A and B are shown apart, each in its own frame.
Chain A
Amino acid sequence: MNASQHNSTGPLLRCRGVSVDYVTSSGNARACNRITLDIHPGETVGLAGESGCGKSTLAFAITRMHNPPALISEGEILFEDRDILKMNDRELRDFRWKETSMVFQSAMNALNPVITIGEQLTDVIMAHRDVSPDEAIARGEELLETVGISKTRMTSYPHQLSGGMRQRVVIAIALVLQPKLIVMDEPTTALDVVVEREIMDELFDLKKKFGFAILFISHDLGLMGEICDRIGIMYAGNLVELGDADQVLENPQHPYTAGLVSSFPTIHGPKERLYGIPGNPVNLLNLPQGCYFQERCAKCFAPCKTETPGLEQVGDNPPHFAACHLNRMREESAA
C-alpha cells in the first residue's frame, strides 16, 4: 500500500529476538520466543494466531506496558534506534502516546465510565503538551469530528455512546498526539460486522491523512487480508510465518497458517466441508521437544519430533519466511 515509504528510511520499530516469560509457580511460560519483527513507517503489519499464542503479549512488550509476572527476558526493541527496554521512566512517559499509542482489545471498557469523553481526550493533551485548557478542548473537538462524532458529544459519558462510537473515541484518543505507530489489539472484535466495516474504513482514511504505521493484532484473517501489508502468524509464542499479506494467505508455507486460513468459511467461495485445525492449543508450560505444532500437524515427520524449526526465508520477492522442516526438505529435494 505504501511501498514507496518503506525503504526511504530504516524501520520505525525493530524487535530483535524478543522473549517474554510469564513467571508462574509451576515454571516459566514463554509467551513470546525470540520474536524478530520490523515495522516500517506507514506500514500495516498484522499479527494473527489463536488465544494464548503471545500476540497481545508482544504488543504489550512493544509499549513496555506488561506487568509482573510478565518479564522480558531477552532481546531488544528499538524505536527509531532508541531501545525501549532501556528507557527510564521519564523517557518512557515521553515515548508512550507521543510516539506509540495503543488501542486495547475491549476498547469499549477502556474508557473511564465516570468522567466525560471530553475530559478523557483533553487529559492526554494536557499531560503531554504545554497548552491551555481551551486549546486542549478545541483540539479534542477537532479530533472527535475527525473520527465522525459530533463535537457536542464532548460532554457525554461513555455509557451514553454506542459500542462503535466508544471505539471511535478510543481511536481518537490514540491519535491525539499523532504518534508514528499505533498498536491495535483486536480493535473491532466486540463489534458488529457493519460497524466494524465503518470503523476500518475510517481508520484507513485517517491513516492516509496522518501516515502512521499500525501493528494490527487480530484473529480474523479475512479482515487482515484486506488491510495489512504484511502478516505474521504466531503459534505458542513463536513467529511461524511472516510475509506479504496476499502471499501468506494464498500460499501459506506453514501447516498452521494453512489450517488457520481454512478455518474460515467464505461468503462467496465454493461451499465445501472445511476441517480447520484438529486438537487443542499446546500448553506453554509443557512444550514438546521439536516443533510445537507437531501434535496437530498432518504433515509431521521425523525431524519435527526432535528439532525445533527456525524461521527461514522461503521466498524472496517479496521476502517470505516460515518455520517448518517441510520447507527445508522441499529445498533439498529441489537441489
Chain B
Amino acid sequence: MSEAAEIIVEDLVIDFPVGGGLFKKNYLRASSEVSLTLRSGEALAIVGESGSGKSTCARAICRIYPPTSGKITVDGEEITSPAFKWSQRDYAAKVQMIFQDPFGSLNPVHTIRHHMARPIRIHNPGLTGDQVEELTISSLERVGLSPAKQTADKFPYELSGGQRQRVAIARAVAVGAQFILADEPISMLDVSIRLGILNLMDDMKKDGIGFMYITHDIATARYFAERTAVMYVGHMVEWGESDSVTQNPKHPYTQLLISAVPEAGVRKDRESMAKKADIPVRSPESRGCPFAERCLQAMDHCKTEMPAATKLGEDHFVRCHLY
C-alpha cells in the first residue's frame, strides 16, 4: 500500500436504461465524462442540485454501479478493468460509504455493538472476541461517542441523528477505510449537530483518510473540503481549489449557485442570474453544454458543442465556452 493513496476517476460515463422497447433501449446519461482525483488526507466536495449525478459517481467508485465507460484507478489498480481480481470485500475495506439518512442506515433491531462488530469480523476474520470488542470500543471513542461501552449496548432509536451518523463513521474507520465517500452526511441532521460531524471528519483527514463530500450546500463544501467540484446534470462544470471556486466562480452555473446561498443581513439584488427553464434530461445523444438553455451568456455553439476543460489558475478548471 503506497503512502499517498489516490482514487483517480477518468472520463467516467454512466448510462441508465429508461424504458424503450426490446430492440431499442433509451438511456439516461447520469454521469458524463467525469474526471476527478481523490487524495488521502484531503477532502473533495462534489456540489450540485438533486439529479446532478453526484451520488451516481460516488456509487460507481464504490462499485455499486458499473460504469458504461471510463476508468477508475485506486492506488494504481484499475478497478474497472476486467483484470481487476479483488473481491468486493477487500475493496470495501479500503473504500467505504456513509449515507445521508442515519435513521435508515442502521438496523433498528440490533445494538450498536452488533453494527460495529459485524463489519470488523467480516474484514478481520482472525480476530478474537476480545480484540473485536476492543476495536469496537476504540472506534466509537474515536468518533466522540463516549462512554463507548454504554453506547455499544444501545439500540439505534436511543441515539440522536448526530450520534447515529457518528456510528456510521465509526463503522467505516473500524474496518480501516482509507477513503470515505460521504453522501450528504449532514443534510438530515440538526443545525447545531452538523458542525460537530464536519469537524470530526476534518480531524480524520489528519489520520490520512480521504473524503469525498457530496453536498448541495456549497458553503459547507468550502468549509470542509480542500477542493470542490461543481456538477450540473452529470457534467463537471467547474472544479479546483475550494476557495478559488467559491470566491471567484467563473462558470455561470457556479455563479448562480453561489448567488442563491442565503446570507444573513445581505438582501440580494433580485436580478435573476439564469433563465427559467427546466433542468434538462441528458441522453447519450445529447449535445452541447447542459446549462445552455438557462445560461444568460449562451452563444450559438453552446447548444451544439460541449466545451473542453480550460485551466484558469493553479488549480482551477472550468468547462465553458466563455473561457
B190 CB contact (under 8 Å) in A51, A193, A223, A273:
A51
B278 CB contact (under 8 Å) in A162, A196, A259, A280:
A162
Nearest residue, chain B, Cβ from A223: B262
* Beta-carbon contacts under 8 Å, B241-270 to A: 243, 246-247, 256-268, 270
**Nearest-Cβ distance from residue A47 to partner chain B, whole angstroms:** 14
Contacts of B267 in A (CB 8 A): 226
Nearest residue, chain A, Cβ from B259: A197
**A interface footprint on B223-251 (CB within 8 Å = 1, 0 otherwise):** 11000000000000000000100110000
With A193-B216, A267-B258 already in contact, the answer to whether A219 and B190 are too (CB < 8 A) is yes
- Number of chain A residues whose Cβ lies closer than 8 Å to a Cβ of chain B: 43
* Beta-carbon contacts under 8 Å, A209-254 to B: 219-226, 245-246, 249-250
**Nearest-Cβ distance from residue B11 to partner chain A, whole angstroms:** 27
Whether A276 contacts B192 by the Cβ 8 Å rule is: yes
Tell me the bound Cα distance from A229 to B112 in angstroms. Answer: 45
Nearest residue, chain A, Cβ from B279: A162
Whether B264 contacts A271 by the Cβ 8 Å rule is: no
**Nearest-Cβ distance from residue A9 to partner chain B, whole angstroms:** 26
Whether B191 contacts A267 by the Cβ 8 Å rule is: no
- Number of chain B residues whose Cβ lies closer than 8 Å to a Cβ of chain A: 42
Among listed B17-25, B177-185, B193-201, interface-contacting one: B193-201
Number of A-B contacts (CB under 8 A): 114
B191 CB contact (under 8 Å) in A162, A245, A264:
A264
* Among A192, A194, A226, A245: residue with most chain B CB under 10 A: A194
* Beta-carbon contacts under 8 Å, A38-87 to B: 50-51
Nearest residue, chain A, Cβ from B221: A265
Contacts of B258 in A (CB 8 A): 267
Nearest residue, chain A, Cβ from B274: A194
* Among B195, B220, B268: residue with most chain A CB under 10 A: B195
Whether A193 contacts B261 by the Cβ 8 Å rule is: yes
**Nearest-Cβ distance from residue B257 to partner chain A, whole angstroms:** 6
Whether B216 contacts A259 by the Cβ 8 Å rule is: no
Contacts of A267 in B (CB 8 A): 218-219, 222, 246, 258, 261, 263
Query: Can you list 11 pairs linking A and B with CB atoms under 8 Å apart?
Result: A50-B193, A192-B50, A193-B260, A197-B262, A201-B270, A246-B264, A249-B264, A263-B192, A266-B263, A271-B243, A276-B192
Known A194-B257, A201-B270, A265-B220; 19 more pairs at CB < 8 Å:
A50-B190, A50-B192, A192-B50, A197-B260, A220-B191, A222-B263, A224-B264, A225-B263, A225-B264, A225-B266, A226-B268, A250-B265, A260-B192, A264-B219, A267-B222, A268-B263, A271-B222, A275-B195, A281-B192
By Cβ-Cβ distance, the 4 closest A-B pairs, closest first, are A225-B264, A276-B195, A265-B223, A197-B260
* A residues apposed to B, CB below 8 Å: 50-51, 148, 162-163, 192-198, 201, 219-226, 245-246, 249-250, 259-261, 263-268, 271, 273-278, 280-281
